[in-house]
Amino acid sequence: MSGNGPDARPRDLATGESLPPASQPGYYPGFQTLSQRDFWDSATRRVVEERVRNVPRIRFFSPAEVPLMQCLCDHLLPQGDREPERRVPILNYLDERLAAGRIPGYRFEVMPPDGEAYRLGFQALDRMAWTARGSDFLGLDWDSQEALLKALHDAEPWPGAEDVWSRMPVHRWWALVMGDIAAAYYAHPWAWDEIGFGGPAYPRGYSRLAHGEAEPWEVDERRYVWVAPEGALSDPVESERVAHRGTPAQGQLGTH
């Protein structure tokens, strides 16, 4: 596999060789939150198991939109390091939110409703691609797609869709899509295993609170060094995000 595409895998820093696909990437080999499910209350068990077993079918995106949205997911939250059957079906969870009309309790006055924002964004992707390369977004090669998306991430969109970005600020669109994709991925127990999050703990609770100690059923970290696939523009991250056009990058989810 060359360095680009949805199946591109991270590489070993020393050898430059692609790492083999894993059922579970990350630094906590063998850690499985789902193995603890008998210790969870039944309401939590039901919700988490449903998420894994009953992947919602696509209802919001049209058949024509699905490949484009899937391509966005592959760039914005790549899973090439995961065995195909262990990839989180981000698109389906995201689609389910939009189909159900669930919103977070607000809409920025500068933004259209969420579903409309997605579709406007799709139009913009195709128009920017046509203007630059004479092809729709899916017709671009992987590296060009990545470059176009990096430009959106930087709030410096390629020419061709100025009317769309005058209707909704590009940084708000990026935050919407990126937030939805991240919420879908990191709500999944396979992602919890990857990052070493202990997951649900009622009614048993946690007993080792202090100094980052692992519970008896958790796994200590075993780090390895990896670099992103060749051509990936998303790594490393910025040290601090630059405010866009005077608007500070405001977070959305609550901690206090």
Partner 1 sequence: MPSLLKGPLGGAFPPSDSAVHRLGSMQTVDLQAMRRYWDDDLVDYVIVGVGSAGGVLCQRLARAGFRVVGLEAGPFWDTEKDWVSDEVGSHGLYWNDLRITGGSDPLTLGSNNSGRGVGGGSVHWASFTPRLHPSDFEVYTRDGVGVDWPISYADLKPYYELLELEMPVAGPAYFPWGDPHGYAFGPHPLGGVGNKLMEGCAALDIEVSAGGPVAILSGSRGDRPHCIYRGFCIQGCKVGAKASTLVTHVPDAIASGAEIRPHSMVSRVVVGSDGRVEGVNYLDRNGNEHHQRARAVIVSGYAIETPRLLLASACPGHENGLANSSGAVGRYLMAQVGNVVLGRFDEPVRMYKAPPAHALTEAFYETDPRNDFVRGYALQTVGPLPVAFANQMIAARGAWGWGLRRQMMDYNHWSPLGVLGEILPWEENRVTLASETDQWGLPVAHVSFNLHENDRRVSRAGTARAIEVLQAAGATETFSESRYAHLVGACRMGSDPATSVVDGFGRTWDVPNLFVCDGSVMPTQGSANPGLTIQALAARTADYLISQGETVFTSDRRDMTPPPVRRELSPPGTHRGVPRLANR
Which residues from 172-231 bind partner 1, rule CB under 8 A?
175, 178-179, 182-183, 185-187, 191-192, 194-214, 216-217, 221, 226, 228-229
Among 107, 119, 133, 167, binds partner 1 (CB under 8 A): 107
CA-based diameter of the chain, in Å? Answer: 60
Alpha carbons within 13 angstroms on the beta-carbon side of residue 214 total 11
For partner 1, give the closer residue by CB, 161 or 175. 175
Shortest distance in whole angstroms from residue 60 CB to partner 1: 17
The long-range contacts involving 29-36, CB below 8 angstroms and separated by at least 24 positions, are 29/219, 29/222, 30/219, 31/193, 31/196, 31/218, 31/219, 32/189, 32/193, 33/189, 33/192, 33/193, 33/197, 33/198, 33/199, 33/200, 34/189, 35/217, 36/199, 36/200, 36/217
Residues 48-67 that bind partner 1 (CB under 8 A): 48
For partner 1, give the closer residue by CB, 26 or 121. 26
90 in Cβ contact with 181 (< 8 Å): yes
Using the contact rule CB under 8 A, the part of the chain among 43-51, 59-67, 124-132, 160-168 near partner 1 is 43-51
Residues 21-40 that bind partner 1 (CB under 8 A): 25-27, 35, 37-40
Residues 145-174 that bind partner 1 (CB under 8 A): 153
Residues 66-95 that bind partner 1 (CB under 8 A): 75-78
